[in-house]
Chain A
Amino acid sequence: MDVSALNHLDRLESEAIHIMREVAAQSKNPALLFSGGKDSIVLLRIAEKAFRPLAFPFPLVHIDTGHNFTEVIAFRDRRVKELNEKLIVRSVEESIKQGRARIKTENDSRNALQAVTLVDTINEFQFDACIGGARRDEEKARAKERIFSFRDEFGTWDPKNQRPEIWSLYNARVHPGENMRVFPISNWTELDVWSYIARENLAVPDIYYAHRRSVVRRGIQLVPVTDLTPPRPEEVVEELWVRFRTVGDITCTCPVASEAKDVQAIIAETAVTSVTERGATRMDDQTSEASMELRKKQGYF
């Protein structure tokens, strides 16, 4: 086998396995954040590659906003059962009931509130590392973040004071109360994720594939018509072929027009798209140039 035998996806996979094994070796009580979305689906395959035939050395954790697409939750539970791994679910709804998180109206995006529930969950279980599926190509604040991203006892990310990360010598040491957010697929792009899903033949929730859905047009985005996101009075509801590029909170996740009914078709579309994943799909990232950065400073993963 010579160097050319390792292709780009092999290299990314191998790096991610190495990172996950470093978490297992260096952290006392890690967790893997699994939402049922495509990036965390890739993380689960990486975990299988890193640790099988043994069980994962961490539980899976889902911070449930209560605003999920039902297909995604069904997928989450099915996948956890197939893998025979442990899943911990903590809900934003519960944080709101307890007065730990505040919303203005019932239908507000709960994306930002996830940070509260996540930090509470980290404290409850004393997790010292949380593995997440964030990628640097997603957003420009992410492009600046380390693979092992230090968070203080408040869960806060301080972009001006990050630990240097040199070669692949990752430093996961933290004091009690602090934790590491670890992103094994930092160096992957959206196209890499889909190429990997195709190569590994991974199942994803159906709503990633093209289906008919009622939407309204708002700027460049197609807003799904749901109980939580009803059309505004002046808006015209249309029935279109769409698919989701991300599957976050219903209230802030938009599908894109698409007829891609299988992975190969999605790869072909992703390869030529002229809009970023978040630009096309996330209402909450449009509010200010720094929304992701601000959320991360509040403890968002």
Chain B
Amino acid sequence: MDQHLPMEQHTELLRFITCGSVDDGKSTLIGRLLFDSKAIFEDQLAALSATSQRRGMSETDLALLTDGLQAEREQGITIDVAYRYFSTPKRRFIIADTPGHEQYTRNMVTGASTADVAIILMDVRKGVLPQTRRHTHIVRLLGIRQIILAVNKMDLVNFDEKVFNQLHQEFLSFANPMGFDDIIAVPMSALQGDMVVDRGESLPWYQGKTLIDVLESVRVDENIQHAPFRFPVQLVHRVRNNNELNERRLYLGRVESGKVSVGDEVVVLPSGVNTQITSIDTYDGAINSAIAGQSVTITLNEQVDISRGDMIAEKDHPPRSEKSFSALICWLSNSGLDITRRLLLRHGTQTVAVKIAALEYKLDINHSIHVPTEKIAMNDIVKVLVRVQQPINMDSYESNRPNGSFIIIDELTNDTVAAGMIE
């Protein structure tokens, strides 16, 4: 029960994504992680056990926990990304549970976009599959720098150390060149529970951390705190005090990267006006400085014409401001790119008309090579040249995730059709 201490002391939140192909045991792993960390409740367990019995299973199938939708239960597959929550005394966790199935790329892009860490799940009997390469490649593209290789189903190879070591090496040989900061391999049996939360008895030769120990100790991605200050303006409020003739303009938004303090010199884009931060306010009162992730209200030294979509940024390290740039896009829509459609690009709080001006290459994520392409279909990752109607104030995705990412919206259907990462 001491797993469930009140939350107030938690300062750390780790978001991770689980990747794996169908039948790698991903649902079982998540079920085990939640069950052994006491995050499954009695009534949920009762429902799982009733369903398991109805399906003629002798034991409760923990994998059923992750099937939230009727169609998923009927077909025994996972359709869409689900988000799950659990905590240990050390940390809070949000799992982006993504299906390993046909539509893998777009779902994985969605789940990986907010994750600090990825668990790449592998069936020890199958070894490195094309799926494993794809998943690893995609999470790296999405800016994830730490991965955990979960070598599952060790019980089916008699917990053989040699098999594990061999797979680990095989994985490192293709993943190392991708430039991860950290790759941690853990042998386990999610079904029996070895090395997930409890060490179990079956893997005495493995002296490393259990999966949960790794999740509790990997670093939460803090790069964004150290990037230059970026503040896309969400809303502008005009407030007139009773006895003041001058109205005060309040700029509402979230610090997307870096930090800002009262008195800092900033530049307002696109106008290029240099000014100073006069105050940083919150409902709970004025503060001296704000860091990435904080929603605040900013006022400036001068009356500048600012509206939604503009950006307040660090004066000495401003973002690039360009109308034409290279990006990798992942196509999300089941209708492919039609260049006659009117498309919009949303970057931060800015929305502008966009054209895909040129297709440079398509990424073959099975072989990590570039192939020429004339068209874009669902799940394709393509390097493109993008032209926008007005300049956007951007950084590269690699240096600044929030200010280097965008989505493309089809103006007719309003659907989100692509996710983009600026080079």
The answer to whether A and B come from one shared complex is: yes
- A sample of 27 inter-chain contacts (CB < 8 A) reads A6-B293, A8-B7, A8-B11, A9-B8, A11-B13, A17-B295, A18-B295, A21-B252, A21-B295, A25-B235, A48-B283, A49-B282, A50-B295, A54-B237, A140-B69, A143-B82, A143-B83, A160-B71, A162-B80, A163-B415, A187-B83, A199-B8, A271-B4, A271-B5, A272-B4, A290-B69, A294-B70
Work out how many contacts link A and B, with CB atoms closer than 8 A: 185
Question: Which chain A residues (1-41) contact chain B, with CB distance < 8 Å?
Answer: 1-11, 13-15, 17-18, 21-22, 24-25
B67: A residues at CB distance < 8 A: 140
CB contact between A273 and one of B41, B253, B284 (< 8 Å): that residue: B41
Q: How far apart are B410's CB and chain A's nearest CB, in angstroms?
A: 10
A164 touches B41 (CB 8 A): no
A137: B residues at CB distance < 8 A: 84-85
B419 touches A164 (CB 8 A): yes
A11 touches B293 (CB 8 A): yes
Complex interface bits, B60-83 against A, C-beta within 8 A gives 1, otherwise 0: 000001011111010000011111
CB contact between B68 and one of A5, A143, A164, A267 (< 8 Å): that residue: A143
User: A187-B83, A187-B85 are known contacts. Are A164 and B106 too (CB-CB below 8 A)?
Assistant: yes
Name the CB-closest residue of B to A199. B8
B69: A residues at CB distance < 8 A: 140-141, 144, 159, 290, 293
Chain A, interface size category, equals 35 or more
B7 touches A167 (CB 8 A): no
B71: A residues at CB distance < 8 A: 159-160
Residue A165 CB within 8 A of the other chain: yes
A171: B residues at CB distance < 8 A: 346, 407, 409, 414, 416
Q: How far apart are B11's CB and chain A's nearest CB, in angstroms?
A: 5
Which listed segment binds A: B197-205, B267-275, B315-323, B398-406? B398-406
B222 touches A8 (CB 8 A): no
Residue A91 CB within 8 A of the other chain: no
Could you list which residues of chain A lie within 8 angstroms of chain B, going by C-beta atoms?
Answer: 1-11, 13-15, 17-18, 21-22, 24-25, 48-54, 136-137, 140-144, 159-160, 162-169, 171, 173-175, 186-187, 189, 191-192, 195, 199, 220, 267-268, 271-276, 279-280, 289-290, 293-294
Identify which of B41, B253, B283 gathers the most chain A CB atoms within 10 Å of its CB. Answer: B283
Residue B290 CB within 8 A of the other chain: yes
Interface pairs A-B: 4 shortest CB-CB: A279-B43, A140-B68, A17-B295, A49-B283
User: A14-B294, A169-B405 are known contacts. Are A164 and B7 too (CB-CB below 8 A)?
Assistant: no
Which listed segment binds A: B109-117, B121-129, B367-375, B386-394? B109-117
B401: A residues at CB distance < 8 A: 167
Q: How far apart are B235's CB and chain A's nearest CB, in angstroms?
A: 5
B51: A residues at CB distance < 8 A: 289
A290: B residues at CB distance < 8 A: 69-70, 73
Identify which of A13, A24, A52, A140 gathers the most chain B CB atoms within 10 Å of its CB. Answer: A140
A3 touches B291 (CB 8 A): yes
B254 touches A18 (CB 8 A): yes
